[in-house]
Structure 1
């Protein structure tokens, strides 16, 4: 395995193979296997493009050939920062086809983050668009060269700049089959080698690199697809960035390809664009996040289109409140499916035939029977079912360590190899109930407030469209609760009104928000998560300014 990675021990690896978890194939080989079985089957819909499995693999092999001829080799790292498009898919699969390792950046990342990804991974290549929304990625790539001495290749999906290569041409221009065979014929993928480097979801420091092997990532896709009942008739809509684990393989596009379904690339999350595509393409599954789901349910678009093909709306990134899950079933006619996990490995999913209690309240159960999960208290001892603690995991698709990070690994993993997820949960058997991040609790003078618990109650108020509860600094209690609320269109809400409503729900008084901030929009990450850190900073700054003003008056 690539130097800087922590492999599974031989005994564990042998057990996973004996159990049939690891198939010993590469990611691109997995897709090619399906393409060989049904080359004329629809694989990708993007705008007016309708691309078959055979056409996908033709494009992948053309690009793989050219990448080899350009000098890329197995285990070379390449940062991919492309928008959702067929060329993203071709690029990702072509790199894995030759054993190179895609490092998955998001479109919103800029100079500081990309420099970190290139240097931390040792990347020699960088795949980018030319320009999006008046931002020129070519200029950023050139500005990075002096700070990234290992960077050799910049490939542009569009018009390439000086010293750069046109990815578009490399994909589209025909290549003789003999030339492809000569370039790729001797390449054999080591399934135990790193296939992809994902980014950790940390918001307080630079992302860590998560090395996923071919074996564990194929398994990840396979098991998630099985838990979502994917098959050859699945039509999966991708809206969020394909470079994110959720849309890539949990279950995402790779699970769709594993089971022979079709991927529909949505141009945006706009209700009319999304739901008209559902009608036109017979979409059966959509992967979404809370802001998207809330917008769809708050629009009148559902009345305009035939949504009878839609079977499942998946939610990831943050726990979907039960009320929104109910509305998915009532108003979209689909089953809500909660997906709770981590790019480091473990994925929990509700099953489509779960009883209502689990479907509406839980965060799902692990997708693999050999996912070992425990809930630990602050002393590191396992707690009983129903008691809160930190979720830790070990299993056949959960990493054993971050890339080149021995000091981080010492704190991120238990001595016996369990990954500390940082999520506070409780269990009912194998089902997990998320209560928030380890740091997503407010400590009000020793009383711990679960932000997610209170948010669920606030969202039941008929005037509230979206909310986020965060800690604000306090001289007496250390922290108090501040509720940020985005009201429904045309509505207004006061703190007194909100607190009166919450008292009617008979919750402990210390959990009531003590300040209300009404906002028009929430700051969100590229994958739709509300940026609570930014909200905490905003309210801390505001309180500090108010104190200064009171002192001067």
Structure 2
């Protein structure tokens, strides 16, 4: 396994293989097998483009040969940042066939995040769109490359320009691609990103063995077949849309994956009607949009049979609306890029579907609810969720000190989530130990936002909390203490040096921060409340925010 990654213990890996959980297949061989079985059937749809299984397989081979010709080798780390386009799927398979390690980056990431991923992974390559939604990503690439000692190659989806290799060039670099050595199935296939409680995300190594199992098992639980059409609403760099079962699980079962440009119902409802989509996955804030649009939309959504929803807590009143309004079954999902997935099942009692996050998708998943001392708690008791299993990581990449805190001595991952188990074994997520804001399904580190705010002129102290929001799940609220003569002791009190919310957003955005991390609200105060230990009392801030909302 790649240096810096933590393998499963040999005896555990052997047991998974003997039980047939890990089948010794790479993701590249999974696509090749699907191409043999399903051939001319449609694998991917995007706009007017339709790509068959055979065409996707051949495309991945050509791209792999082109990357090799350009100097990409096994174990090279390549940051990939593309929107929902077929190129993302083809490139991911191409790089995995080489044995290069993809580092998935979200389309919303900017200089701060890309620079961090390049530095943390030691990336030698970066795949990016020329422009996306009016933003020129090439400027980010030039800046990050100038500050990196490892980043040597920039691959762009678009026209060739100085310093960039167009992806279209790679496809034609080798006339007759030759077979490549098969990667080790136990080795890392790609890195997903943690939500992270630290300033920026950590890298989650996912192996061929564990991800082939995860996507295949998730497809089984969702009862996917070659007759299904999966609508990828979320960015496919998300674990949820990539392999829960997502695009990968769909390709493993011979179905069709339709790639949506946005999750907006105005864009997606016509896709559901046109392609007779049967399955999709969303976060609650997007579901809310769909529910509102479904009340007046004229599109036929009758093909939908299953909608997966996860990423933030939902009220019973909310979950009760989903099935009747969209005319499909609801599947509640709890999952993490680190591994563990729990799904409610189509045949579960209605009460369980509406109020729980279901059960682990694998019988080999081990789930415990423990108290602060690590003692296991009985059903109904709330404690920290810890887990281990055949697709849950044993360590983040390159952070041994953090791993010693994040995992128990016997390999259980400390999720940081507060949860309980029902008497029937269903999981219910009650909250988070980790200080994390989940805004519209995106995980935002309060500490990272605070660091950016404190870097601005005129701010003496900053605290960021999540406040409940019926649409986004949580909004980002920044409490700021102004600095200088117009600060808390100045003539104008706490409002003297303040920026308006749009000005604050603009200032933070100018630091190269993704849009979803920008504050949604700002409150200026003369001082921040402190605990007896001298730390900012965020419980007091949350109580003040709740009181303000009630008022």
What TM bracket, shorter-length normalisation? 0.7 to 0.9
1:201 CA displacement: 0.6
- Helix, strand or coil: the match of 2:177? helix
Tell me what 2:238 maps to.
244
1:363 CA displacement: 0.8
Q: 1:482 to 1:241 in 2, by over 3 A?
A: closer
Q: 1:231 to 1:153 in 2, by over 3 A?
A: same
C-alpha distance in structure 2 between counterparts of 1:300 and 1:318, whole Å: 21
Q: How does 1:1-80 map to 2 (within 5 A)?
A: 1-80=1-80
Q: 1:440 to 1:201 in 2, by over 3 A?
A: closer
Q: How does 1:394-543 map to 2 (within 5 A)?
A: 394-428=388-422, 429-439=424-434, 484-485=468-469, 534=519, 538=521, 541-543=523-525
Q: 1:132 to 1:543 in 2, by over 3 A?
A: same
TM-score, normalisation: structure 2: 0.80
Tell me what 1:476 maps to.
none
C-alpha distance in structure 2 between counterparts of 1:302 and 1:436, whole Å: 34
Q: 2:208 aligns with which of 205, 214, 230?
A: 214
Query: Does the aligned pair in 2 maintain the 1:272–1:301 contact within 8 Å?
Result: no
Q: 1:270 to 1:233 in 2, by over 3 A?
A: same
1:438 CA displacement: 1.4
Tell me what 1:129 maps to.
129
Matched, 1:339 2:336: no
Query: Does the aligned pair in 2 maintain the 1:236–1:286 contact within 8 Å?
Result: yes
1:344 CA displacement: 0.7
1:322 CA displacement: 2.3
- Aligned length in residues: 468
Q: Could you give the per-residue CA deviations for residues 274-319 of structure 1, whole angstroms, max 9, x where no partner exists?
A: 1111111010011111111101111256640222210011112113
C-alpha distance in structure 2 between counterparts of 1:350 and 1:223, whole Å: 14
Tell me what 2:261 maps to.
267
Q: 1:483 to 1:205 in 2, by over 3 A?
A: closer
C-alpha distance in structure 2 between counterparts of 1:530 and 1:334, whole Å: 30
Q: Could you give the per-residue CA deviations for residues 300-348 of structure 1, whole angstroms, max 9, x where no partner exists?
A: 5664022221001111211333222221211111111111111111111
C-alpha distance in structure 1 between counterparts of 2:516 and 2:131, whole Å: 26
C-alpha distance in structure 1 between counterparts of 2:471 and 2:152, whole Å: 50
Tell me what 1:329 maps to.
323
- Helix, strand or coil: the match of 2:118? helix
Matched, 1:370 2:364: yes
Q: How does 1:148-187 map to 2 (within 5 A)?
A: 148-171=148-171, 173=172, 175-176=174-175, 179-181=176-178, 185-187=179-181
Q: 1:546 to 1:414 in 2, by over 3 A?
A: closer
Q: 1:260 to 1:487 in 2, by over 3 A?
A: closer
Matched, 1:386 2:380: yes
C-alpha distance in structure 2 between counterparts of 1:546 and 1:113, whole Å: 28
1:29 CA displacement: 1.1
Q: 1:431 to 1:381 in 2, by over 3 A?
A: same
Query: Does the aligned pair in 2 maintain the 1:317–1:529 contact within 8 Å?
Result: no
1:97 CA displacement: 1.1
Q: 1:487 to 1:12 in 2, by over 3 A?
A: closer
C-alpha distance in structure 1 between counterparts of 2:181 and 2:355, whole Å: 48
Q: CA RMSD in A?
A: 2.8
C-alpha distance in structure 2 between counterparts of 1:93 and 1:322, whole Å: 40
Q: 1:168 to 1:323 in 2, by over 3 A?
A: farther
Q: 1:23 to 1:326 in 2, by over 3 A?
A: same
Q: 1:277 to 1:440 in 2, by over 3 A?
A: same
Tell me what 2:100 maps to.
100
Query: Does the aligned pair in 2 maintain the 1:424–1:435 contact within 8 Å?
Result: yes
Q: Mind listing any 5+ residue stretches in structure 1 that lack a counterpart?
A: 442-450, 453-469, 471-478, 489-518, 548-553
